[in-house]
Amino acid sequence: MADPMKVRATLKGDIADIRVLMNHPMETGQRKDGGGKIVPMHFIQNLEVKVNGKAVVEGQISQAVSRNPVFSFRVKGVKAGDKVEVSWLDNKGDTNKTETALA
C-alpha cells in the first residue's frame, strides 16, 4: 500500500552518495482539509540505511520533514556493487523498503 520509493547510490572515490526519495504525505496534524476538518497526523518516524546488511545511518524524524521526503547520506569505505537498502516506518505502522546496488 505504501507508494514506491526511490534510492540512487553512486560512488565518488570511495564515498557512496546515497539519495533517497520517499513518497509520503507527512501530515502534521495541523492542516485542514477542504471541509475545515483537521487532517490527522501521518508521518514517517524511523528510517534506516543499510550497506551489505549492516546499518550505517538510523534516523528518527518528525512531521516537520517535508512531504515526499528527500534525503542524502554519505558512506565511506564502500565499493561498486555493494548492496544499499533503505527502509522506513511511519506512525501508523506502514513500512517500506527498497534495495539497490551501488554504482
Partner 1 sequence: MDALRRTVLRGAGASGALAVALAAGLLKPQQARAAGWNKDAFGAKTPADALKGIGAANTSESKDILIDAPQIAENGGVVPIEITSTVPGTRSIAVLIEKNPFPLAGKFDFKEGAVPFVKLNVKIGESSNVRVVAEAGGKFYVAVKEVKVTIGGCGG
Residue numbers at the binding site for partner 1 (CB under 8 A): 1, 3, 6, 8, 15, 19, 21, 23-25, 27-28, 30-32, 39, 42, 45-46, 49, 51, 54-78, 89-94
Distance CA 81, CA 103 (A): 6
Minimum distance between the CB of residue 32 and partner 1, rounded to whole angstroms?
7
Q: Which amino acid is at 24?
A: H
Minimum distance between the CB of residue 53 and partner 1, rounded to whole angstroms?
12
Closest to partner 1 by CB, 39 or 99: 39
How many other C-beta atoms can be found within 10 angstroms of the C-beta atom of residue 14? Answer: 10
Distance CA 25, CA 41 (A): 9
From residue 4, alpha-carbon distances to 11, 24, 75 in Å are: 23, 10, 23
Minimum distance between the CB of residue 60 and partner 1, rounded to whole angstroms?
5
